[in-house]
Amino acid sequence: MNVKICDTWKKVLKDEFQKEYFLNLVDFVKSEYQQYTVYPPGRLIFNAFDHCSFTDTRVVIIGQDPYHNPGQANGLCFSVQEGISMPPSLINIFKEIKSDLGKEIPPNGNLERWAAQGVLLLNATLTVRANSPGSHQKKGWEEFTDAVIKIISDQKDGVVFFLWGAYAQQKGKIIDHQKHLVLQSAHPSPFAANKGFFGNKHFSKANEWLAAKGQALIEW
């Protein structure tokens, strides 16, 4: 199975790509793209990995599904392409950054600038059928992204993990909390942001952790 993905990720995930569940997942995803409108565009399925190498990964933000409306999903969790209106969860993320760090809300919601600094923007499920949230859950993506998180936890030191909401927090069981900083709070969606996302100060806490380890701060 030849998956188009950044070389550093291909090296650490090569065994995963040969497993039966992943081969079955590939067959399912190919069939979905042939029959339905699926997001993100096929060339962007592994975009999070292509914009943030395994070597450079310092922060991991875990989302759930890609956006399921036209033009939104770009393969990076919570991110949208320039020119696309920011979804409510992303607006709330920027509101928290402004409250936490005093930075103004940016003109667009493309988070490639974070990925370039070592932030892996990982959805638990990397594809979704248009207008059908959750449609590609329990098809193998979760097993794959669990493997990604475990490899990061096992093979790297001092990574910051943002786990927003119960779904992302399930992934926390895989992470070695002794080696890494695991920040948990409510999800930034409008339904939950007031229940602990606003005021979590995760962005300053992440930078304090990185600074203490002699690493460059993330320009959020």
3-state secondary structure of 67: coil
Scan for tokens 């493997």, then name that residue. 147
3-state secondary structure of 183: strand
Number of H helices, E strands in the chain: 8, 6
Q: Residue 185 burial (CB < 10 Å; 0-12/13-18/19+)?
A: buried
From the candidates 65, 100, 146, 154, which is the catalytic residue? 65
Q: Please report which residue ranges of the chain form alpha helices under DSSP H.
A: 7-13, 20-35, 47-51, 88-101, 112-115, 141-155, 165-170, 202-212
Distance CA 99, CA 193 (A): 13
Cβ(203)–Cβ(96) below 8 Å: yes
176 carries an active-site annotation: no
Cβ(39)–Cβ(72) below 8 Å: yes
Instruction: Provide the annotated active-site residues.
Output: 65
